[in-house]
A and B are shown apart, each in its own frame.
Chain A
Amino acid sequence: MNLVDDSRPGRREQALALLDQLESETPAPGAPRIGLTGAPGAGKSTLVDALLRELRRRGRSVGIVAVDPSSAKSGGALLGDRVRVRASAGDPEVFFRSMAARERLGGLADATRAGVTVLAAVFDVVLVETVGVGQSESDVSRLADTLVYVAQPGAGDLLQFMKAGLLELPDIFAVNKADQGAAARRTALELEAGLGLGEREASQWTPPVVLVSARDGLGIRELSDAIDSHFASLVESGELALRRRRGADAFVIEALERRYGSFGLDRIGGRGALERRLRVEPSAARYGIVAALAREIEEALAKPRG
């Protein structure tokens, strides 16, 4: 875990090789990767704790990555999510790693993805908590098999979320704080209505809206069941492999774009060409490719345009 979070050149290569090895050698479907996202204060961490208890009760080992959005100029961060996740205390079948957003030393998306890959090779289930602030939903949707959106009663964040056109990303909606009664039920109804209007492919999966109380442990079993059935449906339809592949490809392109801009991508044929190239690339390995393509771009950039 420390190795894959190391940005020093020598270590980085070693880590990428290891990650690719893990990705290609872990037999499919492997561990479900479950993303939880939602506004700050929605209760994601408390819900991670509740889900963790339920998963442990079902005898599954769990790896968790909690991503803290707080990045300041100082680069310092207080990683506070552990406080809410208590079910893991003293349990060797649970691994909890928090990470802070960082501008330097490799950026966050890389580190999170690497962490998830490692944990997926070791644990039965992987949970990823990220705060829903625009970009991060799509980031987490690229590395999660199942994306759970955590909403809270009466808050404006759900409206914001719908407005941002992000309603089609999540696979499951969990309306938390159901202990607050009517307000939570109203939010669930609004959400269901909103989903009815949204444009989703008439595919097999309709995202369920589950009422939960992370605090009191209500509805957690139902949520856990919904997660399981979503994963099962992905496996059954063959969608899982596609989805992971698509997510990984998007990750490669975004990683390159972040570093070199669309200008850099253009030097090796542009985004579309890159997508096609990745699609025909046989191996599931994606980490090494980032490095290889980066070298290609750097060479292209070094050559005078002719």
Chain B
Amino acid sequence: MAEREQPWVFRTYSGHSSAKASNELYRTNLAKGQTGLSVAFDLPTQTGYDSDHPLARGEVGKVGVPISHLDDMTTLFEGIPLDRMNTSMTINATAAWLLALYVAAAERQGVSPKSLSGTTQNDIVKEYLSRGTYVFPPEPSMRLASDIVAYTVEAIPRWNPINVCSYHLQEAGATPVQEIAYAMATAIAVLDTVKSRPDVTKQAIPKVVGRISFFVNAGIRFVEEVCKVRAMTELWDELTRERYGVEDPKARLFRYGVQVNSLGLTEAQPENNVIRIVLEALGVTLGRRARCRALQLPAWNEALGLPRKWDQQWSLRIQQILAYETDLLEYGDLFDGSAVIEGRTRELRDAAREELDRVLGMGGAVAAVENAYMKQRLVESHTARVRAIEDGSLRVVGLNCFREAEPSPLGTGSGAILKVDESAEREQVARLDAFRRRRNAEEARAALRNLEDVVAAGGNVMPPSIRAAHAGVTTGEWTDALRRLFGEYRAPTGVVARRSERAGDATSRIRERVHALSERLGRPLKILVGKPGLDGHSNGAEQIAVKARDVGMEVVYEGIRLSPSEIAQSARDEGVHVIGLSILSGSHGVLVKDVLDQLRKEGLAEVPVVVGGIIPEEDAEELRRAGVRRVYTPKDFDLGRIMDEVVDVVAESAAAA
């Protein structure tokens, strides 16, 4: 029997309301046996806006902790000695800034950067493909990412400067092959960028390669997932040896953390999600050869809204039981020698290599972001998945089969999720205000100027950012300085004009209805699918856009992160017959009201509006009272039915006009 292995790091992705509230949460979680921290930032922080920016309205402290300046960061880790903590930060476009704040906060604690350990996610490619919190165009973004790598390799040697993510790709519909291939393509893009830097020597490359880690998804097909991580382990070993000439096998290890799949967690019969989560955890812990280094589990009420402390605790207990009660960690690799596992691993590896070569052939990950290749493949895969759920060929227990159920004693009403208090935003803005008044304005200005000068001259962004952190610069100011230098970017939506091949009877029937109504309207039925606010969840909007196109509508879909007034303006210019809003960030209250106001201002009060997303029933009721015609949530998996109702809604308004 092999020696009992040390368990992986137990984490819970969390943070909300304020630095103070999140600090308390972290300390309780650690006391309960969590062994690492995983910080969720709010959307303004992730997209580089201060808490008092107009675009931050309604989003401050909602889905993560707001960090606008050094005092916020210091509060976040009060009483948590940073030299003894392993902190993972899900931060990308503004990663350099949040790392600078972290370093500055450590220095305030008297901790040297040399003794820090943790991770900045810092994978910008998957932001364009799935996660949506990008700011700058791809090229300068890659440069910023490589600045962090080049800096930390020397200055914070135990830091994982980048966590190449396949996790978010699966959440956007990726197949295992796409997950592997696009993650590898991303790692190559980063390493090639680092390699081409004049300040990184050839000798340093093995050390750089050794610092690259991954963040992987684990889905419900858990046997295949066992094979997927083995295939990734093999490919990474091969790639680092052949492409980057790394001799030391330890530097070629595929080190990865995991968050298990959430896309498959249901609103219907949510208690079943616990079973899904356990099985998914097995996929990345069973085999010793390719076991994860850190694990985060979502909560049973994932599709209802944000988890409460108790919900997160339940998921932490899953990890603890798996690691401490079972005999899992007592054995060597369970799968070595299994022909089945080896066979599937080989298939995945070979197919992934082929797809990787295709991407490299078109110029690599950055090119395949700009020309929309990868995004289009993801939307396609997700469309296939959504269709299979719709037609029943992919079974999801409690959602499209076995729907008879007893009432759940767990409760799914408004008390069953975390509600962030409305006062959180006001208080955060007040703190920011006070901070700005307190700081030495001249010092902050000088630090910002220095930042711009250094970055414009091609210098590493980290040192001037750390100086700016100490000087009291804010998140919005730091990002604005770089926006001035680099400009902003909008990624391709991946939703293509081409019609999808299959059109079943149901689709043809709805298409007939659309054509008939179009004749009556005098031109084709036109729908605008809009995503107001900072919310980056695009899956639902994409699938609605694809379906609307397939049933014969003209579709205007401009991607994520539009302001309510931009949406109203598009609706006016394009002369749409109906507007569909998709909001999953929990800010539907404020945002829908703003859109309705803007429509009224444009004289479009009569254009009907429907809304979809993570919307608790009480909120849905309120939206309908405000004039929204229909509200949809994840349990409405039948897109055909949704389209039928959209046609009804347009017909009703046309008749009323």
Contact in complex: B558, A83 (CB < 8 Å):
yes
Contact in complex: B575, A2 (CB < 8 Å):
yes
Contact in complex: A74, B503 (CB < 8 Å):
yes
Contact in complex: B522, A7 (CB < 8 Å):
yes
Q: A5-B523, A82-B570, A111-B523 are in contact. List 6 more A-B contacts (CB 8 A).
A: A8-B520, A74-B550, A78-B555, A79-B574, A97-B574, A98-B574
Contact in complex: B556, A82 (CB < 8 Å):
yes
Question: Which of A70, A77, A97, A105 contacts B573 (CB under 8 A)?
Answer: A97
Contact in complex: A83, B575 (CB < 8 Å):
no
Binary interface encoding of chain A residues 117-149 relative to chain B, with 1 for a CB under 8 A from any of its CBs, else 0? 000000000000000000000000000000000
Please tell me which stretch of B113-121, B261-269, B489-497 contacts chain A, meaning at least 4 of its Cβ atoms lie within 8 angstroms of it.
B489-497
Kindly report which residue of chain B lies nearest to residue A96, judged by CB atoms. Answer: B573
A270 on interface, CB distance cutoff 8 Å: no
Q: A6 to chain B: which residues have CB within 8 Å?
A: 521-523
| 14 A-B pairs with C-beta separation under 8 A | A11-B522, A72-B499, A76-B511, A76-B549, A76-B551, A77-B497, A78-B496, A78-B497, A83-B492, A83-B559, A84-B490, A86-B490, A96-B573, A97-B575
A195 to chain B, nearest CB (A): 29
A260 on interface, CB distance cutoff 8 Å: no
Q: Which residues of A contact B (CB under 8 A)?
A: 1-2, 5-8, 11, 41, 68-70, 72-80, 82-84, 86, 88-90, 95-98, 100, 102, 104-106, 111
B412 on interface, CB distance cutoff 8 Å: no
Given contacts A74-B550, A83-B490, A96-B573, contact A102 B524 (CB under 8 A): yes
Q: A7 to chain B: which residues have CB within 8 Å?
A: 522-523
Contact in complex: A70, B523 (CB < 8 Å):
no
Question: Which of B498, B557, B565 contacts A70 (CB under 8 A)?
Answer: B498
Given contacts A2-B575, A74-B550, contact A90 B563 (CB under 8 A): yes
B488 to chain A, nearest CB (A): 8
Contact in complex: A105, B493 (CB < 8 Å):
no
Q: B496 to chain A: which residues have CB within 8 Å?
A: 78, 80
Q: B565 to chain A: which residues have CB within 8 Å?
A: 90
Q: A2 to chain B: which residues have CB within 8 Å?
A: 523, 575
Question: Which of A80, A86, A98, A105 contacts B518 (CB under 8 A)?
Answer: A105
Q: B545 to chain A: which residues have CB within 8 Å?
A: 78
Question: Which of A69, A73, A76, A84 contacts B553 (CB under 8 A)?
Answer: A76
Complex CA distance for A5 and B574, rounded to whole angstroms: 11
Contact in complex: A89, B556 (CB < 8 Å):
no
B519 on interface, CB distance cutoff 8 Å: yes
Kindly report which residue of chain B lies nearest to residue A82, judged by CB atoms. Answer: B558
Q: Which 10 A-B residue pairs are closest in the complex by CB-CB distance?
A: A70-B497, A6-B522, A72-B499, A8-B522, A76-B549, A2-B575, A75-B552, A76-B552, A74-B552, A78-B497
Binary interface encoding of chain B residues 461-490 relative to chain A, with 1 for a CB under 8 A from any of its CBs, else 0? 000000000000000000000000000001
Complex CA distance for A70 and B552, rounded to whole angstroms: 12
Complex CA distance for A72 and B559, rounded to whole angstroms: 22
Kindly report which residue of chain B lies nearest to residue A75, judged by CB atoms. Answer: B552
Complex CA distance for A105 and B559, rounded to whole angstroms: 28
Q: B511 to chain A: which residues have CB within 8 Å?
A: 74-76
Contact in complex: A76, B550 (CB < 8 Å):
yes
Kindly report which residue of chain A lies nearest to residue B508, judged by CB atoms. Answer: A74
Complex CA distance for A82 and B567, rounded to whole angstroms: 12
Interface size class of B (residues with CB under 8 A): 35 or more
Kindly report which residue of chain B lies nearest to residue A41, judged by CB atoms. Answer: B371
Contact in complex: A76, B523 (CB < 8 Å):
no
Please indicate which of the listed interface residues B492, B499, B545, B550 has the most CB atoms of chain A within 10 Å of its own CB: B499
Kindly report which residue of chain A lies nearest to residue B570, judged by CB atoms. Answer: A82
Given contacts A89-B566, A105-B519, contact A78 B557 (CB under 8 A): yes
Contact in complex: A90, B566 (CB < 8 Å):
yes
Q: B24 to chain A: which residues have CB within 8 Å?
A: none
Q: A77 to chain B: which residues have CB within 8 Å?
A: 497, 524, 549, 554-555
Given contacts A76-B499, A86-B490, A90-B566, contact A105 B550 (CB under 8 A): no
B282 on interface, CB distance cutoff 8 Å: no
Given contacts A74-B499, A89-B566, A105-B522, contact A83 B493 (CB under 8 A): yes
Please indicate which of the listed interface residues A69, A70, A75, A95 has the most CB atoms of chain B within 10 Å of its own CB: A75
Kindly report which residue of chain B lies nearest to residue A79, judged by CB atoms. Answer: B556
Complex CA distance for A72 and B501, rounded to whole angstroms: 11
Q: A90 to chain B: which residues have CB within 8 Å?
A: 563, 565-566, 569
Contact in complex: A100, B524 (CB < 8 Å):
yes
Q: A74 to chain B: which residues have CB within 8 Å?
A: 499, 503, 511, 549-552
B515 on interface, CB distance cutoff 8 Å: yes
Question: Which of A5, A76, A98 contacts B556 (CB under 8 A)?
Answer: A98
Interface members, chain B 511-550 (any A CB < 8 Å): 511, 514-515, 518-524, 545-546, 548-550
Kindly report which residue of chain B lies nearest to residue A100, judged by CB atoms. Answer: B554
Kindly report which residue of chain B lies nearest to residue A89, judged by CB atoms. Answer: B566
Complex CA distance for A303 and B215, rounded to whole angstroms: 76
Given contacts A5-B523, A8-B522, A90-B569, contact A76 B498 (CB under 8 A): no
Complex CA distance for A200 and B85, rounded to whole angstroms: 75
Q: A111 to chain B: which residues have CB within 8 Å?
A: 523
Contact in complex: A76, B574 (CB < 8 Å):
no
Complex CA distance for A82 and B545, rounded to whole angstroms: 14
Complex CA distance for A72 and B507, rounded to whole angstroms: 14
Q: A96 to chain B: which residues have CB within 8 Å?
A: 570, 573-574
Q: B515 to chain A: which residues have CB within 8 Å?
A: 75, 104
Q: A11 to chain B: which residues have CB within 8 Å?
A: 522
Question: Which of A72, A79, A82, A105 contacts B523 (CB under 8 A)?
Answer: A105
Complex CA distance for A182 and B557, rounded to whole angstroms: 36
Contact in complex: B573, A95 (CB < 8 Å):
yes
B527 to chain A, nearest CB (A): 10
Contact in complex: B575, A76 (CB < 8 Å):
no
Q: B553 to chain A: which residues have CB within 8 Å?
A: 76
Complex CA distance for A232 and B574, rounded to whole angstroms: 31
Kindly report which residue of chain A lies nearest to residue B565, judged by CB atoms. Answer: A90
A61 to chain B, nearest CB (A): 13
Complex CA distance for A84 and B489, rounded to whole angstroms: 10
Kindly report which residue of chain B lies nearest to residue A8, judged by CB atoms. Answer: B522
Complex CA distance for A66 and B125, rounded to whole angstroms: 29
Complex CA distance for A73 and B515, rounded to whole angstroms: 11
Complex CA distance for A77 and B550, rounded to whole angstroms: 8
Complex CA distance for A80 and B492, rounded to whole angstroms: 9
Kindly report which residue of chain A lies nearest to residue B526, judged by CB atoms. Answer: A79
Kindly report which residue of chain B lies nearest to residue A69, judged by CB atoms. Answer: B497
Contact in complex: A79, B555 (CB < 8 Å):
yes
Q: A86 to chain B: which residues have CB within 8 Å?
A: 490
Complex CA distance for A8 and B524, rounded to whole angstroms: 12
A230 to chain B, nearest CB (A): 27
A80 to chain B, nearest CB (A): 6
